[in-house]
Amino acid sequence: MTTADTLSRVAGEHMLTAESAETQTRRLGLSGYLACFNGIVWREILRYLHQRERFLSALVRPLIWLFIFAAGFRQTLGVSIIPPYESYVLYEEFITPGLIAMILLFNAMQSSLSMVYDRETGAMRTLLVSPFPRSFLLLSKLLGGVSVALLQVYAFLLVAWFWEIQPPPITEIKLFTMYDAPPFLPPILGSVTDPIVTPLFAVPSFMQSFAGYLTVIPALILAGLMLGSMALFMSSVIKQLENFAGVMNFVIFPMFFASSALYPLWRIREASPLLYEICRLNPFSYAVELIRFGLHGQVDTVSLLIVVTFTTLFLAAAIFAYNPSKGLIARRGGPGGAA
Amino acid sequence: MEAKSARHPDDIPALVVRNVSHSFGDKKVLNDVSLTVEQGQFVVLLGLNGAGKSTLFSLVTRLYDNVTGEIFIRGFDVRRRPSQALQRLGVVFQSRTLDSDLSLIQNLKYHAALHGFSGREASERAQAALAIVGLSDRAGDKVRALSGGQARRVEIARSLMHKPDMLLLDEPTVGLDLGSRESVVRIVRDLVAKQGLGVLWATHLMDEVKATDHVVILHKGRVLYNGRVPELLSSTGTKLVSEAFRALTGGSDAQEEAA
């Protein structure tokens, strides 16, 4: 039988034959999606737990900032009472949310770089031949990365706990809204310069002492997802990001320093109004603030809105980049740029 | 219509590639490529490095879409019905894709999850797949502890877990010693004979072609020959596949260029 025969035989019939084979098609139901999601997340965690050096370096980095940098700066930099803090806080306490966000950022960049590397070695290709929708696979992969980041964050918070940096007791979960519109935005967006605090619900008394560790979880997941999808998108577009030194210089350092991670924004404003506006344009600032308020049992609505918006945008862009027909993989000439 | 749809589903070819061309920028890597792999057929895709084999595999696995032509896996168009098509496709990639820090069973369970299997079903499928490649006793070992040939066999086991009808292997024996090569080839040929899988085996190693095989010679993005080995030899007036290859491609020697 020649190939031509087979081709003509299949030509007019593939629709019909596809239907007749339909009965053998396994439906990818909800349990299948769940199994797939669990499998991807579990693999990320297993791989992480087997890399002890990675675990240690991820823990040591923020601890150096906390124990050395913050200890040195606590005398030179006083932090006044700004929301969500209700009293003067030590500098260590102020930068803890920033350091948590730094863990998320490092982790996001690392795991997205490993996805680029994976794409070359083929592990990414094994992921992408799964019959599940590609957007679901990428989202699962990102959430796997976020799970690993959460492990690192809680390891850091545990050490910080011994250093007596602990979230305050929380009696009530609140919505916090304060919006100081940048001057270049149209006046219609208005600005709320006095905070509006809306109580949501009370925290049971037995949970109050450690509630901050729980209320921060949604903030961590959201911030992790935003940074992860940003990193995934960037790594699929920008070839130069394939080495980590470039990522440090051009992504991590600028994002981390031009944000509210290390200093309150009003202090930056005193130093440089321009830098202040840059910090306010930096999505990382809002990730930091979301986490800061989350540790205090509060939802910062403006940060929430901005982080959700950026997450959606970055995620859509990353999924677009991996779309087989429109995407950038094909344009780049396949895995590793090799034809 | 009625008569046609009554055709037995076993007749549907495992893989049909029809008139597929692909370019990266100005560079045309695949030029009107057509080939068919029937159920229970072992097809060797023979070509030098850079002939377009990997690009063809990227298109069949839907890493990116074919712009021209069509690709069907068991009658399912990979572009229009990717989920059904990919459920029927097993792939062994050229590069190593196992997690070396994890055990064999952990690697296989991850792959089972990618196809929606969990719990006991995933374990059973993993055990069954390991049995096929003769590595059941190594299930708990880390992949790091395996030899190159054993790791390849695990990758074959992995590609079989969701019971595909079509198996793609991209240079599966590259870098393996002779004994490992033979065992990998034997396992795959057994699958074709006993389980009726369609196999597309991409290689540049001429000695992997058996006298009765169906062979597709891909050179600079074009199919130069598509048929059985005896006809290949008689039409080119040669005695060896490597000589026939040289005659068709105009002098280039696969073994030399690839090495």
pLDDT digits (tens, 9 = 90+) for B192-213: 999 999 999 999 988 889 888 9
Contact status, residue B97 vs residue B152, Cβ threshold 8 Å: no
What share of chain A in percent tops pLDDT 90?
Answer: 45
Cβ(A93)–Cβ(A146) under 8 Å?
no
Reported as a single tens digit per residue, the pLDDT across B200-258 is 999 998 888 988 899 999 999 999 999 999 999 999 988 888 899 999 988 655 444 44
Summarised one tens digit per residue, pLDDT across range B56-94 is 998 999 888 877 899 999 999 999 999 999 999 999 998
Give me the mean pLDDT over the A25-41 stretch. Answer: 87
Judged by CB atoms within 8 Å, which residues 12-51 of B form the interface with A?
12-13, 16, 18, 24-25, 27, 29, 34-36, 38, 50
**Is the model's pLDDT at A62 over the cut of 80?**
yes
Average pLDDT of B92-100? 88
Q: Provide the pLDDT for residue A225.
A: 96
Choosing among B24, B64, B71, B88, which should be mutated to test the A contact, i.e. which has the most A CBs within 10 A? B64
Over residues A275-297, the pLDDT tens digits come to 998 998 999 999 999 999 999 99
Given B72, B106, B116, which is nearest A28 (Cβ)? B116
Contacts of A27 in chain B (CB under 8 A): none
Nearest to A7 among B18, B25, B95 (CB): B18
Pairing of strands A172-179, A192-202: antiparallel
Tokens of A208: 């109050």
**Amino acid at the residue B45:** L
Distances (CA, A) of B87 to A127, A336, B161: 13, 26, 11
Selected residues 277-296 of chain A with any CB under 8 Å from a CB in chain B: none
How is A182-233 classified by DSSP, letter by letter? -TTS-GGG--EEEEEEEEEEEPPGGGTTTHHHHHHHHHHHHHHHHHHHHHHH
- B106 vs A47: CB contact, 8 Å cut-off? no
Long-range contacts of range A58-65, CB-CB < 8 Å, 24 or more positions apart?
A58/A103, A58/A106, A58/A107, A58/A152, A59/A152, A59/A155, A59/A156, A59/A159, A61/A102, A61/A103, A61/A106, A62/A99, A62/A100, A62/A102, A62/A103, A62/A156, A63/A156, A63/A159, A65/A95, A65/A99, A65/A102
> Which CA distances in Å does B79 have to A249, B9, B71?
40, 21, 8
Model pLDDT, residue A239:
66
Q: Give first-to-last CA distance, chain A, whole Å.
A: 33
Taking the C-alpha atoms of residue A288 and residue A85, their distance in angstroms, rounded to an integer, is 14
Q: Tell me the per-residue pLDDT of B1-31, one tens digit each, with 9 for 90 and over.
A: 333 444 456 689 999 999 999 988 788 899 9
- Tell me the average pLDDT across A306-310: 96
A238 has pLDDT over 90: no
Instruction: Please report the residues numbered 191 through 250 in chain B whose beta carbons come closer than 8 angstroms to any beta carbon of chain A.
Output: 226-227
Evaluate if pTM is beyond 0.90. no
Instruction: Say whether residue A83 is in contact with chain B using an 8 A CB cutoff.
Output: no
CB of B224 within 8 A of CB of B252?
A: no
Tell me the CATH number for domain B1-88+166-246. Answer: 3.40.50.300
Q: Specify the pLDDT at position A223.
A: 97
For the cut 70, the answer to whether the pLDDT of residue A121 exceeds it is no
Give the confidence band of A19 by pLDDT, cuts at 50, 70, 90: very low
DSSP state of A65: I
Q: Which of B84, B102, B117 lies nearest to residue A50, judging by beta carbons?
A: B102
Binding-face residues of A in 123-182 toward B, CB within 8 A: 123, 125-133, 137
B190 backbone dihedrals φ, ψ, rounded to 5°? -60, -40
Q: What is the mean pLDDT of residues A324-334?
A: 59
Under an 8 A CB cutoff, do B109 and A39 touch? Answer: yes
Of B55, B72, B74, Cβ closest to residue A334: B55
Query: Would you state the pLDDT for residue A100?
Result: 97
Cα–Cα distance for residue pair A319/A133, rounded to 1 Å: 11
Q: Do B101 and A51 touch (CB under 8 A)?
A: yes
Q: With 70 as the cut, is the pLDDT of residue A141 above it?
A: yes
Chain A residues close to B24, C-beta within 8 Å: 333-334, 339
Separation CA A197–CA A194 (nearest Å) = 10
pLDDT average, residue stretch A242-246: 71
A28: tokens are 């990818």
The reported pLDDT for the residue numbered A193 is 75
Cβ-defined contact of B89 to A129 (cutoff 8 Å): yes
Structure-token match 């680029």, residue found: A116
What is the pLDDT, as a whole number, of residue B21? 92
Helices and strands counted in chain B (H then E): 10, 10
Sheet (strand A172-179) strand order: A192-202, A172-179, A298-300
CA distance B178 to chain A (A): 24
Chain A interface, best mutation among B28, B62, B114, B215, by max A CB count within 10 A:
B114
Question: A13: helix, coil or strand?
Answer: coil
Q: Please check the confidence at residue B35 and state whether its pLDDT lies above 70.
A: yes
- Which helix H or strand E contains B4, and what residues bound it? helix B2-5
Burial class (CB in 10 A: 0-12, 13-18, 19+), A86: exposed
**Predicted local confidence at residue A21, as pLDDT:** 44
Choose the closest CB to B97 out of A123, A132, A339: A123
Quote the pLDDT of residue A237.
Answer: 75
The C-alpha torsion from B23 through B27 and B32 to B34, rounded to 10°, is -70
Q: Which pLDDT value is given to residue B252? A: 55
Q: CA of B102, closest CA in chain A: separation in Å? A: 7
SS3 B178: helix
Residue carrying the six token digits 């490597």 = B242
Higher per-residue pLDDT: A86 or A149: A149
- If you average pLDDT over each of A115-119, A311-315, A334-338, which comes out highest? A311-315
Where do we find the tokens 């102020």? A94
**pLDDT band (50, 70, 90) for residue A328:** low
**What is the average pLDDT across A175-180?**
83
Distance CA A176, CA A187 (A): 22
C-beta atoms of A10 and B13 within 8 A:
yes
Q: Is the peptide bond before A273 cis (omega within 30 degrees of 0)?
A: no
d(CA B32, CA A3): 14
Give the pLDDT of residue A186.
66
A122 and B117 in contact by Cβ < 8 A?
A: no
Say yes or no to pLDDT of A105 above 50: yes
Look up tokens 């070992």; give the residue. Answer: B141
Residue A339 pLDDT grade (very low, low, confident, very high; cuts 50, 70, 90): very low
Distance CA B228, CA B210 (A): 10
Domain definitions of chain B by residue range: 1-88+166-246, 99-163
